[in-house]
Amino acid sequence: MAHEYGFWITKELNEMSSQEWESLCDGCAKCCIFKFEEDETGHILQTDVVCKLLDLENCCCSKYDQRKVLVHDCITITPDNILDLKWMPESCSYRLLASGKELPSWHPLVTENSKSAQLAGKTVQGRVISELDVDDLEDRIIGWFDPNN
């Protein structure tokens, strides 16, 4: 492992190396779910559809290095923008740390098991379909976005 165990406790987000920063992602893939924002209210509606690049089996981006070219609205999360992205789930590890909270016990960094988020049922695996299999995203709205889910 190229980082020290516990670096997420001892370092500020903006002190982390890019490798450490990337490793904070728990792999839930909740940020890869399509959502709509209502013009008038700003409320966010959630679908059960994910980006075409998401590997549904492993819950990871199949073209991570090229994602910004292939999916123009894929957002790069940074220490500066994470708390402004209101459609990110409360459980997002970046958001937790930026809010002064701890990583959950099932986080791959804590368990030192890259599959632990999946094993704990914390990812979108089995709950979503790909945009490649959907004709109209609006038909797949499942309700208001609940940041706690």
* Footprint of ligand SF4 (CB under 6 A): 25-32, 51, 53-54, 61, 67, 71, 74, 77, 88-89, 92-94
Determine contact, residues 48/134, Cβ cutoff 8 Å: no
CB of 103 to ligand SF4, least distance (A): 10
Contacts of 145 (CB under 8 A, 6+ apart): 35, 43, 44, 45, 46, 87
Structure tokens at 16: 């982390």
**Alpha helices (H) along the chain:** 7-10, 18-23, 67-70, 93-98, 108-111, 116-119
Nearer of residues 12 and 41 to ligand SF4, judged by Cβ: 12
Query: Which residue's CB is nearer to ligand SF4, number 40 or number 92?
Result: 92
Cβ closest to ligand SF4, residue 65 vs residue 139 = 65
**CB of 40 vs ligand SF4, minimal distance in Å:** 26
Question: Would you say 61 or 128 has its CB closer to ligand SF4?
Answer: 61
User: Cβ of residue 105: shortest distance to ligand SF4, in angstroms?
Assistant: 15
- Determine the Cα–Cα distance for residues 41 and 76; give it in Å rounded to an integer: 25
